[in-house]
Amino acid sequence: MRDVYWRWLRWLAPLAGLALIAFVFRDELDFLGESWEVLRNASPAPVAAAVACSFASIIAMSAVMLLLINVEGRVATLPRTSAITLASNAWSVSIPGGPALSAWLTFRVQRSWGASAGVCGWFFVLSGAISTVWLVVIGIAAVMFLGAELSISALAVSLALAVVTTAFLYWATRHPAALTRWARHVPPRVRDRLVGVIEEVARIRISGTRFLAAAALSLLNRLFDLAIMYFAVWAVGGSAPTAVAGLNETTVAGVTLAFVMTKLAGSAQVTPGGVGTVEAVAAASLVAGGMTLVDATAAALIYRCVSFVLVAAAGWIVYAAAYAGRGYMLGKPAHAA
């Protein structure tokens, strides 16, 4: 009980701090009211496009799961993977320990479909590595071709780690004997289970076509997410960002930099869903790209309302309809969903 209390306290304390700062400096935050006015007058077509991109991003992510989880045979359909993608995302961004609980829910649902524990674990690691690769590639492309200012060395390290992880997974499927020897050093109570998972992973064989398709869909997931930021800036500014910025406007490079920075800020999970920190980073990045603080704040709010609030709300609805009270978080699942 004490651990739960402290977890919630650590989760909510940053939000309380942000609220206190906002109260103390309320007289200095006139730009928030001005941003709200800009938000109310945002162009509806780009906002609608941003909403479409948010769900296209989810579908792309769901398709990645579909390809990888069906590697040994068909156990899932796109509606199934879309449902668990939405529901697990809602858990991940909304509560303390969300990413871990999200992974647990996804694992339990995938197991209820009939996927082996080895395939489930392989999916988590491989999909995460591929997604990281594409985020880094987008960042490097923004630096090389769009003139964005990011640390190439940090991006290179992240890329190397993701590639090494992917290579290790491939090696693990071909060298189970070596992993089994290492497993002898773990406590006996978990050794048999670990060896069983190693044997399951060793049976995985993914074709080049399937891997490339999963990688392409993972890239689409990132690009659709980037497009949400692009359309959010468009909705506020009234014109599409291009390679050259006008007065108080940003460029495609500025949008891309803001997107990469928000992803990095959000990964820290300092507050629920990165509330407060992600918006501040997004707005600051857009200001650095040439936008006014008022417009940048409005664009950041549109981006977060679409990519975070809307998708999380949809995810909780799906969770309530498909998984709540059916033993996926605790107990034994009643049936596959």
The first and second tokens of residue 108, run together, are 């339990």
The first and second tokens of residue 118, run together, are 């080895």
% pLDDT > 70, the chain: 82
Give me the pLDDT at residue 18, please.
Answer: 45
The string of DSSP letters for 137-154 reads HHHHHHHHHH-----HHH
Q: Please state, as a whole number, how many other Cβ atoms lie within 10 Å of the Cβ of residue 274.
A: 23
pLDDT digits (tens, 9 = 90+) for 188-200: 777 777 777 788 8
Mean per-residue pLDDT for 2-24? 50
Q: How far apart are CA 306 and CA 122, in angstroms?
A: 30
157 contacts 150 by C-beta, under 8 angstroms? no
Report the candidate in 83, 4, 7, 68 with the shortest Cα–Cα distance to residue 317.
Answer: 83
22 contacts 29 by C-beta, under 8 angstroms? yes
pLDDT band of 27, cuts 50, 70, 90? very low
Query: Which residue type occupies 137?
Result: V
Residue 38 vs residues 32, 41, 269: alpha-carbon distances, Å: 10, 5, 28
Residue 148 pLDDT greater than 70, yes or no: no
Segment among 95-99, 144-148, 280-284, 318-322 with least mean pLDDT: 144-148
CA dihedral 299, 155, 221, 100 (to 10 degrees): -100
Q: How far apart are CA 143 and CA 141, in angstroms?
A: 5
The string of DSSP letters for 8-57 reads HHHHHHHHHHHHHHHHHTGGG-HHHHHHHHHHHT--HHHHHHHHHHHHHH
Give me the pLDDT at residue 49, please.
Answer: 96
* Residue given tokens 């910025």 in the structure block: 245
Q: How far apart are CA 219 and CA 259, in angstroms?
A: 14
Q: What is the pTM of this model?
A: 0.82
* Most confident range, picked from 85-99, 179-193, 259-273: 85-99
315 contacts 89 by C-beta, under 8 angstroms? yes
Mean per-residue pLDDT for 252-265? 86
